[in-house]
Structure 1
Amino acid sequence: MHRFFVDRKNISEEKKEIIIDYREDVKHIGKVLRLCKEDCIEVCDGNNNDYIGKIISISKSQIKLEILERKICDTEPQIQVALFQGIPKSSKMDMIVQKCTELGIYKIVPIITERTIVQLKDKKAEIKKIERWQKIADSAAKQCKRGIIPKVEAPLSFEEMLNSLADYDLKIIPYEQEKKVGLKNILSRNKEYKKIAIIIGPEGGFEYEEIIKAHNAGIVPIMLGPRILRTETAGLVALSVLMYEIGDLGGY
């Protein structure tokens, strides 16, 4: 069944009615999918509530649904994981956003480090990039039936990122020079983490001084295995291991 997200204000459980008025979704439902009155679609409010709605009217500006069923979405992990990703070259960030959304990421924050090659020329270019990445997250969240849409936030400098991590239970930074501390070992010490931050460097990794600053800020350098992973691989691996260890991937 086709799935769409709507703002909570567009759902009236009292009237048993949902209004879809996001222009691209209206066009997609009517023109691309060619759905008609009496067809049913799945709708999520972005806050873990799912609805089955039957189309009762279609216009160019909105689609009205009758609520047939409401249920709690069961696809969200029990922990909130944020990825702080050094901005990579080319379209690598597109893939990172898409796949991390599929794996259960809570939010993604691009970061600018010493070795970041990509330069966002101005605020307009930055906004355009964020809008693109957010659309990719939106689409991936629909496809994999997420209960929320992960937010792609505005880029932070490395220092700004360090100052934003106070409320995380665990903060990890994969580093190729770390040879002893592994992610599995850290997770075995405490299974009660609720908010976890993963910090990934761009191509070329982090400067040693950045690792020292991160360590001083309570971020744990870890190894992800004996091989050096690309920037677009490292975050996905760390996230996958986290989800597996909490039982979100591979069963309990």
Structure 2
Amino acid sequence: MVKKIHRFITDFTNNAGIVMVADQSVIHQINRVLKLHPGEQVIIGKGDGLEILAKIVKTRKEAIYFEPQQNVKNENEPVRRVTLYCSILKKENFETAAQKATEVGVFKMVPIISQRTVKTDIKPERLKNIIKEASEQSGRGIVPELGEILVLEEALNIAKENNAAIFLEPSGTDFLQLGKKIKTVSVFIGPEGGWTDEEISMAKKAGFKVVSLWPLIMKAETVVAVASYLVIHSPID
């Protein structure tokens, strides 16, 4: 069985043929959690799609040193870039949504406040860490950006800049097939209580396609994963 090569997205230095990582979270992961030893290989990147296949040389409390073996370009990123505008969800549901959106390939995630949003704040640093870990685990070469919190009207105006804009709503028309040349898409997902009629009307006036996945009712965090995957991975030139 081929042994898994662990991937880390972090800052590092590369001088005189030695790569050094001083990020304490990575050091803890390698030394305490994964218990990796000198001679084992890892993949290290800064989140820009360029990575290094490297061998652990020595581990210390303050830093880990690697011998670079091969420069690699990460080819796992989707061609279509999706910005997910997701209403802030209750409790840990929004964290789950961020994790799953990252795993399926979302390029950017923007928290939004709608009329039925119950929770109106997030923990940005915790969310960024969840997104980073999901990027590493899923083999991505970048870390999706976490945008600032926006109210729905602001988000609708910004989202129109992409090639296509989708507003998910159970009463909408059947889920559309995107044109093959559509490279950037905005996807809106509402709160647990759904969008109000006023918000749906606002989206239509802004030129958004109001669509439904299918008749079954799903939790918002499930919709995030399913809808994002369908939009990102539908055929493209």
TM-score (norm 1): 0.85
> Does the residue aligned with 2:170 lie in a helix, a strand or coil?
coil
CA distance in 1, matches of 2:226, 2:40: 39
Structure 2 gap ranges (5+)? none
Report sequence identity in percent. Answer: 30
Deviation of 1:38 (Å): 2.7
Amino acid at match of 1:182: F
The corresponding residue for 2:176 is: 183
Q: Would you identify which runs of 4 or more consecutive aligned residues in structure 1 move more than 4 Å? A: none
> More strand per residue: 1 or 2?
2
**Alpha-carbon spacing, 1:112–1:28, altered in 2? closer, same or farther (3 Å):** same
Deviation of 1:6 (Å): 2.1
Residue 155 (1) aligns with residue 149 (2): yes
Residue 42 (1) aligns with residue 40 (2): no
> Does the residue aligned with 1:36 lie in a helix, a strand or coil?
coil
Residue 204 (1) aligns with residue 193 (2): yes
CA distance in 1, matches of 2:190, 2:227: 13
**Alpha-carbon spacing, 1:30–1:84, altered in 2? closer, same or farther (3 Å):** same
Deviation of 1:153 (Å): 2.3
Instruction: Tell me the number of residue pairs that the alignment of Structure 1 and Structure 2 aligns.
Output: 233
Q: Find the partner of 1:141 among 119, 135, 139.
A: 135
Deviation of 1:39 (Å): 2.5
Matches within 5 A, 1:124-139: 126=122, 129-139=123-133
CA contact (8 A) 1:130 1:153 kept: no
> Does the residue aligned with 2:43 lie in a helix, a strand or coil?
strand
CA distance in 1, matches of 2:21, 2:147: 25
Q: Find the partner of 2:218 among 224, 229, 252.
A: 229
Listed one character per residue, the Cα deviations across residues 99-121 of structure 1 (whole Å, up to 9, x for unaligned) are 1111111111111100001133x
Residue 25 (1) aligns with residue 29 (2): no
Matches within 5 A, 1:48-63: 48-63=49-64
CA distance in 2, matches of 1:31, 1:107: 31
Q: Find the partner of 1:4 among 5, 8, 18.
A: 8
> Does the residue aligned with 1:177 lie in a helix, a strand or coil?
strand
CA contact (8 A) 2:174 2:214 kept: no
Deviation of 1:67 (Å): 1.0
CA distance in 2, matches of 1:41, 1:181: 44
The corresponding residue for 2:163 is: 169
Amino acid at match of 1:52: L
CA contact (8 A) 1:110 1:156 kept: yes
The corresponding residue for 1:106 is: 107
Amino acid at match of 1:167: E
CA contact (8 A) 2:168 2:211 kept: yes
The corresponding residue for 1:240 is: 229
Deviation of 1:181 (Å): 4.4
Listed one character per residue, the Cα deviations across residues 123-143 of structure 1 (whole Å, up to 9, x for unaligned) are xxx4xx111221111111111
What's the Cα RMSD here? 1.9
> Does the residue aligned with 2:101 lie in a helix, a strand or coil?
helix
TM-score (norm 2): 0.90
CA contact (8 A) 1:198 1:235 kept: no
CA contact (8 A) 1:87 1:93 kept: yes
Deviation of 1:11 (Å): 4.4
> Does the residue aligned with 1:218 lie in a helix, a strand or coil?
coil
Deviation of 1:235 (Å): 2.1
